[in-house]
Amino acid sequence: MKHGYILGILLLSVQLLFAQIEFRTAVSKSKLGLNQRLKIEFSVNKQGSDNFAPPNFTNFKIVGGPSQSVNQSWINGKVTYALSYVYILQPKNVGTFTIPAATVEYKGEVIASNTVEILVTNSVKLAEDPNDPLYLAQEGIHLVTEISNTKPFVGEGIYVVYKLFVSEDISVNDWRTTENPQYNGFWNQDINIGAIKARKGTYNGDNSYRYIVLKRAILIPQKSGELSIDPIKVDFIVGIPTGRGDFFGNPITRNINYATASPKRTIHVQNLPIEGKPLDFTGAVGDFSFEVTANRNVLKANETASIKVEVKGTGNLKLFEIPKIIAPSELEIYTPEHKENVTTALGGLRGRISDTYTVVPEYKGKYKIPAVSFSYFNVKEKKYATLKSTPIFIEVTEGKPLPSSVDTSVLASNKMQVALNGNDFKYIATSSVFEPVASKDFFKSTLFYLLLFLPFLAIPIGIFLGKKRADRVADVFGNKIRKADRLARKYLSKAKKELGNKEAFYIALEKALHNFLKAKLQIETSEISKDRITEILQEKQVEEEVVKEFIAVLNDCDFARYSPATEVEMQHEFDRAKQILVKLDKKI
């Protein structure tokens, strides 16, 4: 009997000795299509693990989670424990990808999980199960790209409109754009869509749809050939009908996360024709008028006149140069003032651009500013057009006569002979004077002795600082509290930076709250329930109202990640949490 007890104790000791921490990564599938999703779970088998850090899901998009669960059991004297973090991922690209390791901290040591390799193939055909919420979302939500002209000329404006069509059977509770299109090869400008308003619409012949306009833009191609218009990508929270009703007969819906993208479109851009291209063509494409005007034609010397060169109409108004005027050299002309009055609408860029020159004459006379021509490509008639202004005449009634009209003999008689003398170059030095530079012996200076004895002063200071550091390192309990306090401040700061990013904000805020309690109460708050936290705070004589507010903030962090939240609500939650931590800091 005695030997049996000893054997049991030895077996138990061996079991405890070899029971090591395990941190594992598991996935629901290692091969999936581009339009499918997978579940990834990170689980650790030891209590006391803290500060979980997920890997960087570079090639995947998080569409659900993280959700956290704890499973603990006692069977036949054997204790099992598992803390799990679960994410739902959807791949972004086709290929073979490795999901890196996640990490947790256990007894001051960073533990890493195993990596997982995932093979992503092209999109696969999903089972058409009428009760599958994902299938219903795919059938009822469509992103459409509408383009006014798929074969424009270089410089011809087109518009693109992104519309979201939603079936009447389902509802979209929240949505956000995750990736805006890139218009490579186009000059582009967004058009304000104003307030979003749902309208009745038809999709593929089905008129039981509503639609909203997500984005509108004007595009002007800058080169010929095939140019791509990238898709817009959007995440949704979709309400799917369950087929059941509540007590009052209202249909019950189930919210799911869903993501989709508009199709990629190709534009075939035509080159402008070479035949008939004017020599003064600078790239203007559209329908324009052109004029050159002067605000006054008769003036005196040193008075000013303004000459305005203006192009108005519809087309690529911001993408070409206005013709320049050529004036006689006797007129002084300043750099023109450029003005644009252009509006953007679905019809393209519309308005006027102008250069205004300021002219200042000096000599009396009559001057001619020659006519100026402006050429553009007319997209309606598919040919070049040239507009020509009328010449402008400026008469200067008073002023000095032109230099060419002055008698040259008078000018010659007024010239003076230059006389030379011996003092013309007396400012040039012909000799130098050198003076000795005073120097000081460095080896007898105060700086020399200060640098000599500085190492001897540094030795006792270094010993003192080293002893202080050793004492601090030996204080394991104090270091743990200080580390938790730093983490609380770190995550609180991170939460402030993540305002507007709902999921990251609430995760950081929750970690800040837990690490604050860990620093103040010296407990692992992730291992105990909110009821136990309430008891401990009450034992510390914290007011009941403050405790309730703290638990309420913790609950909000749990639930807000899975429900819509605006940036204003997140700012309110952050301010509330900050006030609670200040109150607890004063009480504990």
- DSSP assignment of 101-150, as one string? --EEEETTEEEE---EEEEEES--PPP--TT-HHHHHHHHEEEEEEES-S
Examine the pLDDT at 168 and tell me if it is beyond 70.
yes
- The CATH number given to whatever domain includes residue 260 is 2.60.40
Q: CA-to-CA distance for 47 and 241, rounded, in angstroms?
A: 41
Q: Confirm whether 563 is domain-assigned.
A: yes
**Degrees (nearest 5) of the Cα angle 16, 21, 23?**
155
Q: Are residues 290 and 244 in the same domain?
A: no
Q: Which of 13-27, 248-262, 369-383 has the lowest mean pLDDT?
A: 13-27
Q: Confirm whether 116 is domain-assigned.
A: yes
Domain final position from 403, 436, 464: 403
Model pLDDT, residue 425:
47
Per-chain mean pLDDT for the chain:
78
Q: Which of 179-188, 271-280, 304-313, 534-543 has the lowest mean pLDDT?
A: 534-543
What's the residue count for the chain?
588
- Confidence label for 528 from pLDDT (cuts 50, 70 and 90): low
Q: Confirm whether 314 is domain-assigned.
A: yes
Q: Are residues 392 and 496 in the same domain?
A: no
Residues with Cβ within 8 Å of 436's Cβ and at least 6 positions away in sequence, in order, are none
Examine the pLDDT at 16 and tell me if it is beyond 50.
no
Model pLDDT, residue 11:
46
- The CATH number given to whatever domain includes residue 378 is 2.60.40.740
Domain final position from 403, 422, 451: 403
Q: Which of 33-42, 261-270, 358-367, 520-529 has the lowest mean pLDDT?
A: 520-529
Q: Are residues 146 and 257 in the same domain?
A: yes
Examine the pLDDT at 237 and tell me if it is beyond 80.
yes
Domain final position from 76, 101, 121: 121
Q: Are residues 191 and 254 in the same domain?
A: yes
Model pLDDT, residue 47:
75
- Based on its alpha-carbon atoms, the radius of gyration of the chain, rounded to whole angstroms, reads 40
- Confidence label for 415 from pLDDT (cuts 50, 70 and 90): very low
Model pLDDT, residue 249:
54
Q: CA-to-CA distance for 226 and 244, rounded, in angstroms?
A: 50
Q: Which of 45-54, 119-128, 239-248 has the lowest mean pLDDT?
A: 239-248
Handedness of CA 455, 460, 465, 470 (dihedral sign): positive
Q: Confirm whether 43 is domain-assigned.
A: yes
pLDDT digits (tens, 9 = 90+) for 460-474: 888 888 777 776 666
Q: Name the residue among 328, 289, 286 with its Cα closest to residue 307.
A: 328
- The CATH number given to whatever domain includes residue 45 is 2.60.40.10
Q: Are residues 398 and 296 in the same domain?
A: yes
Total number of domains in the chain: 4
Q: Confirm whether 422 is domain-assigned.
A: no
Q: Are residues 224 and 344 in the same domain?
A: no
Averaged pLDDT, 326-354: 85
Q: Are residues 201 and 95 in the same domain?
A: no
More confident residue, 390 or 479: 390
Q: In terms of residue numbers, what domain contains 62?
A: 19-121
Model pLDDT, residue 414:
45
With beta carbons less than 8 A apart as the criterion, state whether 290 and 320 touch.
Answer: no
Averaged pLDDT, 554-559: 72
- Confidence label for 576 from pLDDT (cuts 50, 70 and 90): confident
Which pTM was predicted? 0.48
Q: Are residues 225 and 255 in the same domain?
A: yes
Model pLDDT, residue 515:
76
Averaged pLDDT, 294-302: 86
- The CATH number given to whatever domain includes residue 526 is 1.20.120
- Confidence label for 57 from pLDDT (cuts 50, 70 and 90): confident
Q: Are residues 199 and 313 in the same domain?
A: no
Q: Are residues 262 and 142 in the same domain?
A: yes
Q: Confirm whether 3 is domain-assigned.
A: no
Q: Are residues 138 and 251 in the same domain?
A: yes
Model pLDDT, residue 435:
67
Model pLDDT, residue 531:
75
Q: Confirm whether 8 is domain-assigned.
A: no
Q: Are residues 105 and 185 in the same domain?
A: no
Q: Which of 91-100, 125-134, 536-545 has the lowest mean pLDDT?
A: 125-134
Q: Confirm whether 460 is domain-assigned.
A: no
Model pLDDT, residue 409:
43
Averaged pLDDT, 354-376: 89
pLDDT digits (tens, 9 = 90+) for 198-231: 888 888 777 778 898 989 898 999 988 999 888 8
